[in-house]
Amino acid sequence: MPSVIVSLESGVGIQVITPGPEHTFTLDEENVSRLLLRDDVKDRVVVVISVAGAYRKGKSFLLDFFLRYMHHKYTLGDDCEDWLGPTDQPLKGFSWRGGSERHTTGMLLWSQPFKATLRDGTKAVILLMDTQGTFDSESTVRENSTVFALSTMISSVQIYNLSQNIEEDDLQHLQLFTDYGKLAQEQGSKNKAGKPFQKLQFVIRDWSCPYEYAYGPEGGERLLKKRLEVHKGQHEELQNLRVYINQTYEDLACFLMPHPGLKVSTNPEFDGKITDIRSQFQESLKELIPMLLAPENLVPKLIGGQPVKAKDLLTYFKVYMKVFNGSKLPEPKSILAATAEANNLSAVAEAREVYETLMKKVCGGTKPYLQPHLLDDEHGRNKCRALHTFHSKNKMGGRRLADGYEAKLVEFNIDYSQVENWSALFCANENDLNRKPPLEE
């Protein structure tokens, strides 16, 4: 149990990506860094749970129940089943509301990182992400697709929140990722990276045919299977989409939610009190949420088969912002190139960190003077260890790309008067690194 109990009230949804004029997006690097580079967070593997889909379909509302669970389980360390909380209090967290205006824009992350230990003992941090409503009438298709695509690229669990059913359109929005998946796997098969995305969880709200497909995960699984069936008469594109969805995600699931009751959907005074929510909906929340958030069910984010740490996630955010900010939605090829770039940059950063840590141990600020030839020996040895770290990372983008980053990594210029400047010792300069080496064809 943590010594300081942090209340849900002390957290907020922090803006990570904001839509700007001309359908551009900006990354609030300061906000994101403050969360992802926290000393107690940066080296943990991330579990990123995002909720995406059309606006005003209860995404933020659902996320606020996620928050109740997270506080109960991870902040208070309470194992009892009764995590839905007090029945007479308004629902707090990511802002949600009635009325027809959009409330969330761009992408938000909850400011409180929840720490957890995965089944294999890995230390992880769970990040909850809310997104702007996609595919609504106010925003352009381009803007909406960008939020959907970015949140898919960044998350380990994408919750695709749909109203009433899974329509053909809903599946077609996944085409970009199946195309990306195909490309990534063509490369990944060389280094056994596995499927490019971890989990896609459909959540169907206001499901109205429980006699055909029952509420919950089993009915959902049957419905999803039905929707993903390949038929002879289907257009080839639709058939391919179905085939590739299965190959793109490690895990596909679907959950059918009952209607929450008229107070939730139509009463303007409704403030989220549990007493105003149909008990059947409450029961579904109690079933769905632990399936996604209980420690044994957490899914870490993997890119190129490697777990992503919080500090790496920042690199991915930065690189994706560049590629998603063009006038058109990027081609899968460009997204893959960006992923490979970030992937290599993370490996470089880790190698540098290894080098700096080792060098500081022998000649850091408090250490006695070390003769230049001994310093040189240490430098050589630690450089080798750092390069070993770089080589042992499974990197995307092929040999030539990695060789380019490696060359930058070893381009050093020893200046003993500046021995404190470790980066200069091992890696010429950061801007050099950002200049991309050629991509392997």
| Residues in contact with ligand GDP by the rule CB under 6 A | 55-61, 96-98, 103-104, 133, 205-206, 257, 259-260, 264-265, 270
Which CB sits closer to Mg ion, 104 or 344? 104
Question: With 0-12 CB in 10 A as exposed, 13-18 as middle and 19+ as buried, what is 114?
Answer: buried
Q: Which does 379 bind (CB under 5 to 8 A by kind): ligand GDP, Mg ion, none?
A: none
CA 335 to chain centre: 15
Q: Which residues partner with 115 through β-bridges?
A: 125
Q: How far apart are CA 242 and CA 203, in angstroms?
A: 18
Select from 75, 104, 112, 161 the one that contacts Mg ion (CB under 5 A). Answer: 104
Q: Are strands 302-303 and 197-205 parallel, antiparallel or unpaired?
A: unpaired
Query: Which of Mg ion, ligand GDP, none sits in contact with 329, Cβ below 5 to 8 A by type?
Result: none
- C-beta closer to ligand GDP: residue 259 or 318: 259
Applying CB under 5 A, the span of 100-108, 117-125, 145-153, 175-183 interacting with Mg ion comes to 100-108
- Closer residue to ligand GDP, CB minimum distance, 264 or 419: 264
Kindly report the number of other CB atoms within 10 A of residue 187's CB atom.
Answer: 17
Q: Based on CB atoms, which residue is closest to ligand GDP, 91 or 321? A: 91
Q: Which residue in the shown chain puts its C-beta closest to ligand GDP?
A: 58
Closest CA to 393 of 440, 322, 340, 317: 340
Task: Select the binding partner of residue 19 from Mg ion, ligand GDP, none (C-beta < 5 to 8 A, by kind).
Answer: none
- Which residue number places its CB atom closest to Mg ion? 60
Least Å distance, CB 387 to ligand GDP, is 47
Q: Which does 110 bind (CB under 5 to 8 A by kind): Mg ion, ligand GDP, none?
A: none
Give yes or no for residue 60 binding Mg ion (CB under 5 A).
yes
Report residue 424 CA to chain centroid gap: 32
CA–CA distance, 23 with 87 (Å, rounded to integer): 41
Nearest to 277, CA basis, from 265, 293, 269: 265
Instruction: Render 255-289 in DSSP notation, one character per residue.
Output: EEPPP--HHHHH-TT----GGGS-HHHHHHHHHHH
Cβ closest to ligand GDP, residue 161 vs residue 248: 161
Nearer to Mg ion, 60 or 134 (CB): 60
Q: What residue ranges bind Mg ion (CB under 5 A)?
A: 59-60, 104
